[in-house]
Structure 1
Amino acid sequence: MNIFGFNKKQDYSAKEILRQLDKCAEDFTFPMLDNGYVYPIHTKMSAYRDEKRWALIIEVIGFNYRGGGHDGISNCLHIFGNCIDTKPGTDNANFLYITDNSADNSTFDEEYLESLNPKAKTMLLRGKELSINHNREFYLNKGIELEEEDKIFVWEFMRGLEPEYNNELEATEKEIRERIPSDLPKIMELTEWYHPECADSELPSKNETFKQIAKVLETGKTEFYKPTNEPNNHWKNWPDGGTL
């Protein structure tokens, strides 16, 4: 258990943390998992703190159909804290593009860049070749309902990479430390949690998860994270994501 001076006066409070998260939610820079433009694929949250500093990073891997193809696949880092160089929330510099065509064929259809190219056998994930699975049963067995009978959409294909390729989808330690202090200790990491319904104007300060995580950050005591709600951050719980 990571404990950092519970009895000492902090340079920040849970209330201040939640105030920052709420402001970002109001400014639409806090993760909205049912964002109408982005099909959610995978999420991760990491918390960092010491006596004077805190940071919280929420990664949202998704497919934005307005980008199309590889330009639409990204890991969007939402970064909060009192020791970051950027404005809390996210900006263009916090989008990680992690896929590309391999040498054999274009990964996606060249007209709309929204479905797998039937001729593509491999693509690049973080520079390494990855075999492309065109077997429809593979996706159905993972609980991925395919929308069309004759194609596999980008977001369906990417969801098929879970959980085997989660590490490659997530940010590397180098990418994280380029954005927060290199000496700031990590206190918590989650891939499952109960996320607020931002589209219905639910603020982080009214959400059990973030109220508890703010307390963990304030005190350094991870036992303050005691969720009673079932996790809902999996893409299956946000059917409106990407459907605008």
Structure 2
Amino acid sequence: MNIFKFKKKQEYSARDILRQLNKCAKDFTFPMLDNGYVYPVTSKLTAYRDDKRWALIIEVVGFSYRGGGHNGITNALHVFGNCINTEPGMANANFLYITGNSPDIPTFDEEYMESLNPNAKTMTLREKEIPVNHNRDFYLKKGIELKEENKIFIWEFLRGLVPERNHDFFATEKEIRERVPADLPRIMELTEWNHPDCAASELPGNNETFKQIARVLETGQTKHYKPSNAPNNHWKNWPDGGAL
């Protein structure tokens, strides 16, 4: 009788994970929180695994002035893994458009599509009507410095909705499972972490956060995530985002 128990072979390694993330960073499909064309608003990281499969989704909610108005407000899902149905990184199908005008009046100025319409009282977020706040003190109390005295820009308005509206900003379980297998267990979810400075050529594979997350995915043990670096994914830490 064979008394030895053989450990099931792991089908991927932390090195494999970091190799994929590094390639995406070099190809500019890994999240760059100071993307000069996008004002960052909020972000989220979720990891999934079993012994054969792994997946990682980084959601970056922001405003692109090149899109303008509601077309510029997106949740960009950066999807990585060995069981996904798109190329790792970004794909056009992974942009979620989550806001719209209320029936009564456009939310934003119709000429430049970059600031609140002073007459707008509501807009839709995930098809739910929410109020549009024009109170400048509201933003200042949240630490949001308003760029101009007579305007509230779209990214300033969106930042004012955080964190109370994060649940609506982020992807639904259905949207996630359209990109990650439905039976793949979730092992980790973060809304704060230390993100690499990709614009300064820092790769995920050299970043403490992602080295530890890769180890969590490899082993299935969350104890390997014990960061010593302070979180930096808040929009205030990336002032060059949207600055081009």
Same fold by TM (over 0.5)?
Answer: yes
Alignment partner, residue 238 of structure 1: 238
| Deviation of 1:93 (Å) | 0.3
Counterpart CA distance in 2 for 1:194 and 1:138 is 28
Alignment partner, residue 4 of structure 1: none
* Bigger Rg, structure 1 or 2: 2
Aligned partner of 2:87: which letter?
A: K
Are 2:109 and 1:109 equivalent residues in the alignment? yes
Are 2:150 and 1:150 equivalent residues in the alignment? yes
Alignment partner, residue 3 of structure 1: none
The runs of 5 or more residues in structure 2 that have no matched partner are 1-6
Alignment partner, residue 56 of structure 1: 56
Are 2:92 and 1:92 equivalent residues in the alignment? yes
Q: Deviations over 1:116-150 (max 9, x none)?
A: 00000000000000000000000000000000000
Counterpart CA distance in 2 for 1:156 and 1:25 is 28
| Deviation of 1:104 (Å) | 1.5
Counterpart CA distance in 1 for 2:174 and 2:156 is 29
Q: TM-score, normalised by structure 1?
A: 0.97
3-state SS in 2 of match to 1:175: helix
Counterpart CA distance in 2 for 1:119 and 1:160 is 18
Alignment partner, residue 3 of structure 2: none
Alignment partner, residue 184 of structure 1: 184
Number of aligned residue pairs: give it: 238
Q: Deviations over 1:8-61 (max 9, x none)?
A: 321000000000000000000000000000000000000000010000000000
Alignment RMSD: 0.5
Alignment partner, residue 131 of structure 1: 131
Counterpart CA distance in 2 for 1:182 and 1:91 is 20
Alignment partner, residue 65 of structure 1: 65
Alignment partner, residue 195 of structure 1: 195
Counterpart CA distance in 2 for 1:168 and 1:8 is 40
Alignment partner, residue 79 of structure 2: 79
Q: TM-score, normalised by structure 2?
A: 0.97
Counterpart CA distance in 2 for 1:53 and 1:211 is 18
Task: List structure 1 runs of 4+ shifted beyond 4 angstroms.
Answer: none
Counterpart CA distance in 2 for 1:84 and 1:163 is 29
Counterpart CA distance in 2 for 1:83 and 1:13 is 14
The runs of 5 or more residues in structure 1 that have no matched partner are 1-6
